[in-house]
Chains A and B, each alone.
Chain A
């Protein structure tokens, strides 16, 4: 016990650094996947059949294969198979590859949530807007959008909380996120080696992070409670 207390400050400092990388990946993924998901959703709902088919096949592939495999392929395929490493070396390159994989993967999940949200708004809402002389754009932004957001908050919350934990998959390409930081103390780092507790301790970070998120998302849901 005394030993752990002695190691604690060193471990916390290292885990904090890893957690910042985790958070970076989390936020970059959200910022990229929110709009990309909407684009994919409109693609799969397009009345232009070839576009809708291609989009649906793409979503099927991405949702049908493990994110870990996608990470490995996106990171290693250009360099090892095509002999044109596009990601650059070091942590920066790994982060870029991870961000691209996560954005594409999550955008596909988001697109299905968006689609459900948009199609869940009754047709009568659009028709009411049309007979009142509104344009399609006005109808989307003034009428449909908020009703859609209300519908998608609960399933979106689920995905967002899953994303926090999924960032740990980036460990597979050695991105120095929090799991990587915790594991380092098993092999030996900063005078600490053979210790497994720092790895276990990373769970606390996820738990706290998701606790805060759950509160925030619950608040948003409550805020949208004023209409039905």
Chain B
């Protein structure tokens, strides 16, 4: 069974159709890269997966559970959405770290708030807190930020901020981690350090969906590539096929701009 099934997702803003009949599925431990020009709907698709936007039509399933069905009002309930969001993590282009918290606190905050909802929280407060702290330490270590735990975001470089943001998303152990152009706000040098971390996650079999303009990286890290154009999935397949022998003229056009460099 696929970890994620997306069926016939459509989304319009005002009178503009941004997503038109998007369907795909993703296996556990796989990496999906989504490429395409700006305005093709890539970001909106990620926002729909994370319930920041609600699709007008379509079905969303994770591990066989229907999280969203536009035709079924029960799945659109606001109160349920919070829990469903936790299946997904999202790393933003502009990091969106919380400026008033240190790197550690950024990673720990959401987990601590969720822990307070556990029935046995009061009794095991110290123990739970220690667990959360240990986990945050490990995550920041893995991101190569062991010396930056107590720094505030404004004291960190863009690349370090983005790695904190990745640790923050991983702290909630989402089934699927989404990246929305994670390196678009970074200069080439800092881009490398973030891509390295994402590659490492791929090696560890983290299920990921990555929207990116870094073609070499998309090809390298992905098990599956989707090319989006004007709200449609125009091409879909393994990286070798999409990058070497694209079926569509539009894909060739798009890719040629990158290979010409």
Contact = CB atoms under 8 A, between A and B. Distances in A.
A227 B168 CA distance: 18
A225 to B, nearest CB: 11
B99 interface: yes
Given A124-B92, A128-B92, A134 B110 contact: yes
A133 B172 contact: yes
Contact of B109 (A122, A142, A147): A142
Contact of B113 (A131, A138, A226, A228): A138
Chain A interface size, under 10 / 10 to 19 / 20 to 34 / 35 or more: 20 to 34
Contacts, number: 62
B96 A130 contact: no
B207 to A, nearest CB: 16
Contacts of B153: 227-228
Nearest to B152: A227
Contacts of A147: 99-100
Interface in A112-170: 122, 124-125, 127-135, 138, 142-143, 146-147, 150
B52 A130 contact: yes
A132 B51 CA distance: 11
B88 interface: yes
Contacts of B145: none
Contacts of B52: 127, 130-131
Interface class of chain A by DSSP: helix
Listed residue (B86, B89, B96, B154) with the most chain A CB atoms within 10 angstroms of its CB: B96
Closest 9 CB pairs of A and B: A132-B110, A128-B96, A124-B96, A228-B154, A131-B90, A227-B99, A227-B100, A133-B86, A146-B100
Listed residue (A132, A142, A147) with the most chain B CB atoms within 10 angstroms of its CB: A132
Given A125-B96, A131-B50, 5 more contacts: A128-B97, A132-B172, A133-B113, A143-B98, A227-B152
Nearest to A123: B96
Contacts of B73: none
Contacts of B96: 122, 124-125, 127-128
Contacts of A125: 96, 98
A132 B92 contact: no
A146 B99 CA distance: 10
Contacts of A143: 98, 100
26 contacts: A122-B94, A122-B96, A124-B94, A125-B96, A125-B98, A127-B96, A128-B92, A130-B51, A130-B52, A131-B85, A131-B88, A131-B169, A132-B110, A132-B168, A132-B169, A132-B172, A133-B110, A133-B114, A135-B82, A142-B113, A143-B98, A143-B100, A227-B100, A227-B152, A227-B154, A228-B154
A187 B172 CA distance: 74
A130 B89 CA distance: 10
A166 to B, nearest CB: 33
Interface string A186-228: 0000000000000000000000000000000000000000111
A126 to B, nearest CB: 9
A127 B92 contact: yes
B100 A130 contact: no
Nearest to A133: B86
Nearest to B81: A130
Contacts of B100: 143, 146-147, 150, 226-227
A122 B98 CA distance: 11
A193 to B, nearest CB: 58
A147 B97 CA distance: 12
A133 B82 contact: yes
Contacts of A122: 94, 96
Contacts of B152: 226-228
Interface string B110-140: 1001100000000000000000000000000
A7 B140 CA distance: 71
B34 to A, nearest CB: 18
A147 B88 CA distance: 26
A42 to B, nearest CB: 19
